[in-house]
Amino acid sequence: MSDDTATPTPIEPGSAVYDHEGNVLGVVAELSSEGFEVSITETIERVDDDGRAVVSDPDDEGQAAAETDESVRTSEEEHVPGQEFGEGYLMWRCENCGEMGDLDDGLPSECPNCGDENVIKWRED
């Protein structure tokens, strides 16, 4: 008979999150009253012995973001969504107030409605 009891692991920001097969899914971004939010945009270089994710250098992330922004600006997907069910427009969205807008002028550095800097790319059906 085997002992299948697992030792509970505390969940805290910066911890790596795994799927049932042991693949790294992302990094715990923050805790909420409903659980925790996982960031999947971080590039995880490795996980240390304490289970904390080591993400890539912020300068590297800035370069990757600039390349992504350029690919979004030149992407046909931004302007011509498919006609199939579930396909939509690529837009920006403020995580603070929910304001949304087109990416015609690129991803804004802050929300024009509330001034918050948490503006993300968003796919709208």
Determine the average pLDDT of the residues in 10-36.
80
pLDDT at 108 exceeding the cut of 80? yes
Is residue 1's pLDDT more than 60?
no
When pLDDT is averaged across residues 73-86 and rounded to a whole number, the result is 52
> How far is it, in rounded angstroms, from Cα 25 to Cα 54?
13
Whether residue 43 has pLDDT greater than 80: no
| Spans of all domains in the chain | 15-55, 90-123
Average pLDDT of the residues in 56-85 = 53
Q: pTM for the full model? A: 0.34
Distance, in Å, from the CA atom of 2 to the CA atom of 16, rounded to the nearest integer, reads: 27
